[in-house]
Each structure stands twice: as C-alpha cells, then as structure tokens.
Amino acid sequence: MRAAMMLLLTGLLVLGASRAADAAKLALVIGNARYPDNEFVLNDVANDTQDVTEELKRDGFVVDRQNNLTADAMRQALDRFYARIERGAVALIFFDGFAIQSNLHTYLLPVDAQIWTEPDVARDGFSLDTILAEMNTRGAAIKIALIDASRRNPFERRFRRYSAGLAPAIAPSNSLVLYSAALGAVAASGKTEHGLFVAELLREMRAPNISAEQALTNTKNGVVAATKREQVPWLSSSLTTEFSFAGPLAQPPDNKGDATPAKPEPQKPACDAPQAEPPPSADDLARDPVIADLSRKIAANANDIVSRYKRGQVYAIKRAHGLAMQDFDVVIRKNPRDAQALNNRCWTRAATGDLQWALTDCNLALQIDPGLSDALDSRGLVNLKLGRNAEAIKDYTDAIQRNPRSSSSLFGRGIATRKSGGDGATDIASAKSMNPDIAKEFAGYGVSECVP
C-alpha cells in the first residue's frame, strides 16, 4: 500500500512538473509600426511580429502579442507580463519598432513618444535594462530579449546629427540579448514587407537540436553573410542553463559558426550611388500630425518660438527646406544669438545650395558656441559643396573629435578626402556601418560618394 501511494505521488509530481514546464515559457511580443512622427508605416514590423508570435507558440511559449502601443498601453502590457512570470520560468521579450540610446541605456519607444531633447528619451521611453532587471526580480530563470529596433528614427534626428544606435544591455545573469545591428549602428531602413533579421532569427529558432545561444549566434552570422558584413547584429550571453527554442537538446551543440567574423577590408564602392528622395508634397505635409499640432500651437500664440523651432526641425528633416527656412528666420529674429537655430538654418541653406549665407550662419553659430559639433559638421558640408576640401576635412575632423560616432562627419570627411585625391574609404565604410542610409542622406544634399 505504501509503495502504491509513493508511485501515485511520483506520478502526480511528474504530471505537475510537466504542466509547470508548459506554463513556464512566457513571451511578450510588441510591434510598434505606426509612429505618427515617422514618414511611413513600418510594414515589416506587423508582419514580423505575427511570424515571431506563431513560432514562439509552436515552441511552447504563452505569448501576449501587442501592436502600436502608446506609453500607457505599453506600461500595462509590461505589468501583465511581469505578473505572469513564475519562479524558474523562461521569460522572453521581442520588440520591433524604434529605440534610442541615451546616457548609455537603450530605451524602447511607444508610438506616442514626444521626444525633442535628450531628457525626453528617458521620460517617454522604456529602459531595456529595467525590463530585464524586473524579469529577473520576478523569478525568471532565463531572460531573453530580442530587439529589432536599430533603426534611424525621426525622434533622434531632432536633437542629434548622427545615429547613436543602441547601447549595450546591462543584463542579469542567465540572460540572452540580441540586437538587429551592432552597438552604435543602425540597419538600413525601407518600406519592406519582411525584415532580414527576423527571417534569419525564425530559421534558426526552428532548427532542431541546437541551444538558444547557438541559434542566436547563427542568426547573427546569417545576417552578416546576407548583408556582406554591412549589418552585424550584437549578441550578449550570460546563459548557464541549457535551453533550446525547438525543444530539448539531444546532444551538446558543436558551436560551429561561433567565431566573430573578421572585420572587412574597406573597398571602393561602385559608382551606383543612391538617388535623393523627392521632397514631400504639400498634401503630405498637411496630413502630418506633428506639423498640424505645432501649427495649431503657433496659430494660437504667434510668440511660441519653441513650437516654431520644432516645426522648422520637422520641415528640415522632411526636406521641406523652404518652409523650414521661414520658421528658422522667425526664431533667429527673436533671438539672434540662438546658436542651434543658426546651425539649423546653416544646414538647411547648405542643402538647398545657398552656400555663402549658410557659411555666415555656421560661422556665427560657432562664434557663439565654439564647441558646437553639429555646427562644425554643418560647416563641413558647406565647405565640401564649395569645393574647399581642406577646410571641410578640418571641420569634419574637429566634429569627429567631439563626437566620434557622427556618421555624417565621417562620411563627409571621406568624400572630402577623395576629392582631395586621397582614399577616404575607411571613413566612408565606418559611416555606412553606423548608418547604411548615409549615402542617400548626402544625395539629398546634392553630394555623391562617386567622385570622378
């Protein structure tokens, strides 16, 4: 009788453990595709999050998929996720959308983020480090974060002339973190239906008999190979527990493909430089919700210089240079010593070819604020377009000394070096590794990387 009871209890414990294992793999999938501040909907986000959700469910995860979350909705989704985490669980977050690095932390952005300055990032964004720490505090044995958000975004361009990319995650032990691009770099953007990063990720998650860490390593290597090393995902692992997306491991992984790919040698690009995108139509600008909101504020208060400056920034980013100039003119008339407004007007004039007046604006901005790296970058563009290559190289070099992550300054210095008879390939390759769209951006300024 005692033996029978022991067998019954053992059976119940095994059944309970099986059920706990089934319920102990939890995932939150967030796809933020519709940012009102962005020029177009991120179509690949909606499709990719659906595919990731289906794969995670096949792998036994209980998945909460959420799309286009405001800050309040994102906070609620995270709270629900935290509340479901049991001690010993596998907890996974997949985020597809926009993120920004600020003060060496990565922040995931809701669709209603209102970001115009650096402090706004921490106010409106959600710290990835905090999310991972909370997953750990709630008892998750394995923490996984898959972040497809290394994109150049409209928010960052308002207060930075460069792509800062994402910062390394400060992850607790037994964690896996994968970004779609290298630290400080962004991936090429476009109106695609599916993303390369997620396609590689899904293929590796489905592969049988490999560890989760190996699957993410293979994902990284697949993206590197597919992009000819132009996009290199970042992987961080402190995993000590055996875990596989596709089920239990039958044997230890062979760790093939785990080596970090060698840094490519700079190569001269073929002369097929991208064409500049056409400026938006009047109808496109009229439908832009950010411009409409700022215009309402200006109509209600003609002295609202802050809104006028912000609208000028949005117009300039969207290549509506004439309208941007009008707003910057008003701001500078109100405050002739506003170095940032002078710099923005310099940059706008440089883009339209009004080079002598642009040079005047940049010089004045630098007289007011000699350490303003953005103004050095802007004046570098002016000198580059004027054919003053030595002066352009000096301006760009001074800007890079103040901000080594400036893809704009690196690319501009590379072009100026080429025009001076030098190579410039290293600067150009470094700029493209940080911002694959930098050549297209310069094409909008009338500057091609193809130097005769």
In a shared domain, residues 208 and 307 = no
Whether residue 247 lies inside any domain: the answer is: no
pLDDT (0 to 100) of residue 125: 96
Shared domain for 219 and 318, answered yes or no, is: no
Residues 93, 147: one domain? yes
In a domain, 261, yes or no: no
pLDDT of residue 256: 47
296 in a domain, yes or no? yes
Continuous segment of H or E residues that includes residue 314: helix 305-317
pLDDT for 6 equals 41
Query: Residue 38 sits in which domain range?
Result: 20-237
Q: Name the amino acid, one letter, at 261.
A: P
If asked whether residues 80 and 206 sit together in one domain, one would say yes
Are 223 and 123 in a shared domain? Answer: yes
As a whole number of angstroms, the distance between CA 32 and CA 143 comes to 22
Instruction: Please report the pLDDT score of residue 448 as a whole number.
Output: 87
- What is residue 266's predicted lDDT score, i.e. its pLDDT? 47
Same domain (yes/no): 121, 42: yes
> Is residue 291 situated within a structural domain?
yes
> Could you give the number of structural domains in the chain?
2
Residue 344 CA, chain-centre distance (Å), reads: 23
Q: Are residues 105 and 227 located together in one domain of the fold?
A: yes
Does residue 116 lie in a domain region? yes
Torsions phi, psi for 298 (to 5 deg): -70, -40
Mean pLDDT by 10 residues, the chain (452 residues): 41 39 79 89 88 94 96 97 94 96 94 92 96 95 96 85 85 94 82 80 90 94 88 92 77 48 48 70 84 92 92 89 93 94 93 92 95 92 94 94 88 94 90 84 86 71
Prediction pTM value: 0.72
Give SS3 for 205: helix
The domain boundary residue, chosen from 237, 261, 291 = 237
* Three-class secondary structure of residue 197 per DSSP: helix
- Asked if the structure places residue 15 within a domain, the reply is no
Residues 135 and 229 in one domain: yes
CATH code of 86's domain: 3.40.50.1460
Q: How many residues does the chain have?
A: 452
On the 0-12 / 13-18 / 19+ scale of CB atoms within 10 A, 283 is exposed
Q: Say what the pLDDT of residue 193 is.
A: 63
φ, ψ (nearest 5 deg) of residue 276: -70, 140
CATH number for 430: 1.25.40.10
Residue 129 inside a domain? The answer is: yes
Domain boundary among 182, 209, 237: 237
109 close to 45: Cβ distance less than 8 angstroms:
no
Residue 264 CA, distance from chain mean position:
23
Are 304 and 193 in the same domain? Answer: no
- 331: which residues sit within 8 A by CB, 6+ positions away? 305, 308, 309, 312, 338, 341
216 and 332 assigned to the same domain: no
Pair (147, 296) in one structural domain: no
Domain endpoint, select from 174, 204, 237: 237
> Would you list the DSSP string of 325-385?
HHHHHHHHHH-TT-HHHHHHHHHHHHHHT-HHHHHHHHHHHHHH-TT-HHHHHHHHHHHHH
Residue at 183 is within a domain? yes
Domain match, 26 and 158 both:
yes
Report how many helices (DSSP H) and strands (DSSP E) the chain contains, helices first: 18, 9
